[in-house]
C-alpha cells in the first residue's frame, strides 16, 4: 500500500461506528408538546399522536424530559417517585404505548435521569428528615452554627449556614429543616434536596431505578447535572465571585469518576444503550475523561457556547456574543473530542433562549434558522433538535413580570426587586425577557387555530403570539419552509458518513462574518460555508484545497450558475454545503 495514503485509508475503513453517532435526536418537553385532553397541559397520549410527525421529520432518537410523579416545583426536575408517571401526563400504560409506537418506527427513546437531587416530597426525604433508618444519611445534612442558632439567630441568616455555597437558582444552597433541626443542601431549589452520593445505599437505589427503566426497554438516559454528584470533602467555603459560589467544590468533584465508573460497571455495561451527560462548567479536557474510550458515558452536553453572551455580572447579565469566540469555542470542542469522545450538539433546549433569537436574527427568521440548522447538522457530534426549533419558534415578548412562571426566573426577579438600585421590572425586563427559561417552554405551535392548536383548553403557559405565522401546519404546507429544510438537512446527514465521522478543519479562522470548515473522511470531503451576518461577505477558498469537481449538496437560497466554490458572494445568513471531489 502507498504509505502516504495509509492514514486516510485507515480512517475510512474504520470510523468508530455507533448507531447514536449517526442519529439525529429530538428533545420533547412534554408539558408543552401536545395536549390530548384539553386541560391545558401536554401529555403522553398527546406525544403518541405526534409520533408520525417525528418520523416524517426524520429523527432517530427522542429525549423525553421528566414525566415522573412530581410536585412540579421545577416542572418535573423535582421527582417524587422515579417509578411512576405524573397523572397529569398519563399512565404507565400510556408511556409503554409511546415507547412501542416510537420503537415501531425505529425511533429510540431516552429518559431523563435526575439523580443529583429528588423532590423534598420523595419518600426518601420524608424519612430522612425524620431520621428513619436507613434513610438518615440519604441527603446532605449539616448542623450549621448551633451556637448562633441557639442565640436566637434566624436560621435563614447566611452566617448561620454550614457554608457559603449558593444555589444555581440564586440565594443560599442551604435550607433549615424544622423537622430535623438541621440544614440540608440543595444546589437548585429548596424543594430539590441533593442526594448524598457518598452513601452506598443511595447509589444502590439509583442503580436499581436505572435498571427498572432499562428493563422496560428504554434506550438510554440524558443525565441531569451528572457532574455535580460529588461534593468536596468537608464542604469547604467557596470563592466568592465565582458565577455560583461553591461551584468549584461540586463541579467534577473528587469522587465523581468513582461514582460514574461504578454506575457504568454495575448498570450501563449490562445494556446496549446511549448516555448523554449534562455537565455545566466542564472544559473539553474534563469531557474526555467522561466520554472518551474508557469513560463511563457516551456524549456530553457542555455549556461553553451557552456562556458566549454572558457578561461579567453573573447569570442574568447578557452581552452580545461574538463570532470569533463562537468559532473558537466550537473548534476547540470539535478538535478536543476528535480522537476520543463525542459531542452532543445543541443550540437551544428547555433551559435556554430560542436559537433563532439568540444566535440567529428574528428579522431574517427563516434564513438565519436554516443557516443554524445547517451548522448544527454538519458538525461532528450528535445533533439535538429542541421542539419548535424546526419551525423557527422564537423568544416571547413577555409583557410583564406576571407572565413568567419558571422558578429560576421568579427567584431572580424577587431578588432583584429587593435591591435598592432596581425600582421595578422595567429595569431588569430586558435581561429577563431574553434569558428566561419560559421562552423555551411556551406550547408547541401546531397550527393557526386557537392556542396554536396545542390545546382546546387554557394552556398552562401562554402561547407565543406569533403562532398565526409560525406553526407546523403552515410550515408543512410550504415546500420552501424551514420545516422542510430540517428534513433535508437531516437526510443529508443520514446519507453522508463524512458529515458524521469526518475530521473537522476550520477555514478562515479570522473572517469576522463567515464560519467555514471542511469535513474529511478518506476521499470524501464536504465544505460548509455559513454567513452568520445580515451582510453580503465574499467567500474565497483558501489556497491548497485542491479538487476536480464540486457538487452543491445543500443551500438555503437558490444558487445559480457555475457552482465551483472558489469564490462567491453570500447573501444574508446564506449557508452552502458542497461535496468536493
What is the nearest approach in angstroms of ligand ISL to the Cβ of residue 463? 20
CA distance 121 to 325: 43
Binding ligand ISL by CB under 6 A: which of 24, 25, 109, 114?
A: 114
Note the residue count of the chain: 581
| Contact string (CB under 6 A) for ligand ISL, positions 63-92, x = contact | -----------x--x---------------
Of the candidates 348, 323, 347, the residue with the CA atom closest to the CA atom of residue 534: 323
Q: Give 257 or 411: the residue with its C-beta nearer to ligand ISL.
A: 411
The label of the residue with cell 439525529 reads 24
Q: Which of 278, 289, 389, 438 is catalytic?
A: 278
Of the candidates 210, 203, 211, the residue with the CA atom closest to the CA atom of residue 258: 203
Q: Is 351 in the site for ligand ISL (CB under 6 A)?
A: yes
Q: Give 280 or 522: the residue with its C-beta nearer to ligand ISL.
A: 280
Q: Give 117 or 380: the residue with its C-beta nearer to ligand ISL.
A: 117
What is the nearest approach in angstroms of ligand ISL to the Cβ of residue 437? 5
Site for ligand ISL in 227-246 (CB under 6 A): none
DSSP-assigned letters across all residues of 402-436: GG---HHHHHHHHHHHHSTT--SHHHHHHHHHHH-
Across 454-478, b (16+ Cβ under 10 Å) vs e yields bbeeebbbbbbebbeebbbbbbbee
Q: Give 190 or 280: the residue with its C-beta nearer to ligand ISL.
A: 280
**Cα angle 451, 453, 457; round to 5:** 55
Sign (positive or negative) of CA dihedral 555, 561, 567, 570:
negative
Cell numbers that stand for 324 in this block: 470569533
| Contact string (CB under 6 A) for ligand ISL, positions 169-188, x = contact | -------------------x
Residues forming beta bridges with residue 184, ordered by sequence position:
141, 175
Q: Give 66 or 565: the residue with its C-beta nearer to ligand ISL.
A: 66
Contact in structure between 175 and 141 (CB atoms under 8 Å) = no
Q: Give 31 or 99: the residue with its C-beta nearer to ligand ISL.
A: 31
Q: How many CB atoms lie within 10 A of CB 219?
A: 22
What is the nearest approach in angstroms of ligand ISL to the Cβ of residue 480? 34
Cell numbers that stand for 105 in this block: 418506527
Binding ligand ISL by CB under 6 A: which of 280, 381, 453, 459?
A: 280
Alpha-carbon 284 to chain mean position: 17
- The reply to whether 224 belongs to the active site is yes
What is the nearest approach in angstroms of ligand ISL to the Cβ of residue 368? 22
What is the nearest approach in angstroms of ligand ISL to the Cβ of residue 353? 9
Using DSSP's 3-state secondary structure scheme, residue 231 falls into coil
Total of chain residues touching ligand ISL, rule CB under 6 A? 12
Q: Is 168 in the site for ligand ISL (CB under 6 A)?
A: yes
What is the nearest approach in angstroms of ligand ISL to the Cβ of residue 387? 14
What is the nearest approach in angstroms of ligand ISL to the Cβ of residue 297? 16
Q: Which of 27, 60, 189, 224 is catalytic?
A: 224
Binding ligand ISL by CB under 6 A: which of 219, 224, 438, 574?
A: 224
Q: Are strands 382-386 and 503-507 parallel, antiparallel or unpaired?
A: unpaired
Query: ω into residue 134 within 30 of 0, thus cis?
Result: yes
Q: Which positions are catalytic?
A: 224, 278
Residue ranges that bind ligand ISL, judged by CB under 6 A = 74, 77, 114, 168, 188, 224-225, 280, 350-351, 408, 437
Amino acid at each position: 500500500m502507498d504509505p502516504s495514503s495509509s492514514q486516510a485509508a485507515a480512517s475510512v475503513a474504520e470510523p468508530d461506528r455507533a448507531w447514536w453517532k449517526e442519529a439525529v435526536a429530538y428533545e420533547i418537553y412534554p408539558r408543552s408538546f401536545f395536549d390530548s385532553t384539553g386541560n391545558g397541559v401536554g401529555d403522553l397520549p398527546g406525544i403518541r399522536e405526534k409520533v408520525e410527525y417525528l418520523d416524517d421529520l426524520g429523527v432517530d432518537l427522542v429525549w423525553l424530559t421528566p414525566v415522573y410523579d412530581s410536585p412540579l416545583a421545577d416542572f418535573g426536575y423535582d421527582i417524587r417517585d422515579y417509578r411512576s408517571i405524573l397523572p397529569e401526563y398519563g399512565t404507565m400504560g400510556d408511556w409503554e404505548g409511546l415507547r412501542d409506537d416510537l420503537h415501531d418506527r425505529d425511533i429510540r427513546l431516552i429518559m431523563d435521569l435526575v439523580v443529583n437531587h429528588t423532590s423534598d416530597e420523595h419518600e426518601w426525604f420524608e424519612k430522612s428528615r425524620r431520621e428513619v433508618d436507613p434513610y438518615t444519611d440519604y441527603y446532605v445534612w449539616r448542623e450549621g452554627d448551633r451556637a448562633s442558632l441557639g442565640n436566637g439567630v434566624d436560621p435563614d441568616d447566611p452566617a448561620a449556614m454550614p457554608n457559603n455555597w449558593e444555589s444555581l437558582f440564586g440565594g443560599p444552597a442551604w435550607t433549615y429543616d424544622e423537622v430535623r433541626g438541621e440544614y440540608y443542601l440543595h444546589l437548585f431549589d429548596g424543594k430539590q434536596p441533593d442526594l448524598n452520593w457518598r452513601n452506598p445505599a443511595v447509589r444502590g437505589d439509583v442503580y436499581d431505578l436505572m435498571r427498572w427503566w432499562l428493563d422496560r426497554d428504554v434506550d438510554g438516559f440524558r443525565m441531569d447535572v451528572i457532574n455535580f454528584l460529588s461534593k468536596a470533602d468537608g464542604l469547604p467555603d467557596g470563592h466568592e465571585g465565582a458565577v455560583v459560589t461553591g461551584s468549584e467544590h461540586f463541579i467534577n468533584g473528587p469522587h465523581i469518576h468513582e461514582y460514574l465508573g461504578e454506575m457504568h460497571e454495575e448498570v450501563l455495561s449490562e445494556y446496549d444503550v446511549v448516555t448523554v451527560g449534562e455537565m455545566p462548567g466542564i472544559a473539553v479536557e474534563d469531557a474526555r475523561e467522561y466520554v472518551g474510550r474508557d469513560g463511563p458515558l457516551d456524549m456530553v452536553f457542555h455549556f461553553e457556547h451557552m456562556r458566549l453572551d454572558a457578561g461579567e455580572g453573573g447569570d442574568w447579565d447578557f452581552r452580545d456574543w461574538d463570532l470569533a469566540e463562537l468559532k473558537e469555542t466550537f473548534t476547540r470542542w470539535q478538535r478536543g473530542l476528535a480522537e476520543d469522545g463525542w459531542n452532543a450538539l445543541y443550540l437551544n433546549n428547555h433551559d435556554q433562549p430560542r436559537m433563532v433569537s439568540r444566535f440567529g436574527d428574528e428579522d431574517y427568521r427563516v434564513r438565519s434558522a436554516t443557516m443554524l440548522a445547517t451548522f448544527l447538522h454538519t458538525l461532528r457530534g450528535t445533533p439535538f433538535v429542541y421542539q419548535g426549533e424546526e419551525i423557527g419558534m422564537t423568544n416571547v415578548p413577555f409583557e410583564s413580570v406576571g407572565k413568567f412562571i419558571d422558578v429560576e426566573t421568579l427567584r431572580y426577579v424577587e431578588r432583584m426587586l429587593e435591591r435598592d438600585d432596581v425600582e421595578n421590572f422595567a429595569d431588569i425586563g430586558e435581561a429577563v425577557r431574553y434569558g428566561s427559561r419560559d421562552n423555551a417552554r411556551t406550547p408547541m405551535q401546531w397550527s393557526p387555530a386557537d392556542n396554536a392548536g396545542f390545546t382546546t383548553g387554557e394552556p398552562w403557559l401562554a402561547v407565543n403570539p406569533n403562532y398565526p405565522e409560525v406553526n407546523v401546519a403552515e410550515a408543512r404546507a410550504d415546500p420552501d419552509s424551514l420545516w422542510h429544510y430540517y428534513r433535508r438537512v437531516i437526510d443529508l446527514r443520514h446519507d453522508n458518513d463524512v458529515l458524521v465521522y469526518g475530521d473537522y478543519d476550520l477555514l478562515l479562522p479570522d473572517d469576522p462574518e463567515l464560519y467555514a470548515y471542511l469535513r474529511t473522511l478518506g476521499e470524501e470531503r464536504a465544505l460548509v460555508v455559513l454567513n452568520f451576518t445580515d451582510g453580503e461577505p465574499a467567500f474565497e477558498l483558501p489556497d491548497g484545497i485542491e479538487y476536480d469537481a464540486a457538487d452543491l449538496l445543500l443551500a438555503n437560497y437558490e444558487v445559480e450558475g457555475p457552482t465551483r466554490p472558489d469564490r462567491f458572494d453570500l447573501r444574508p445568513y446564506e449557508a452552502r454545503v458542497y461535496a468536493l471531489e
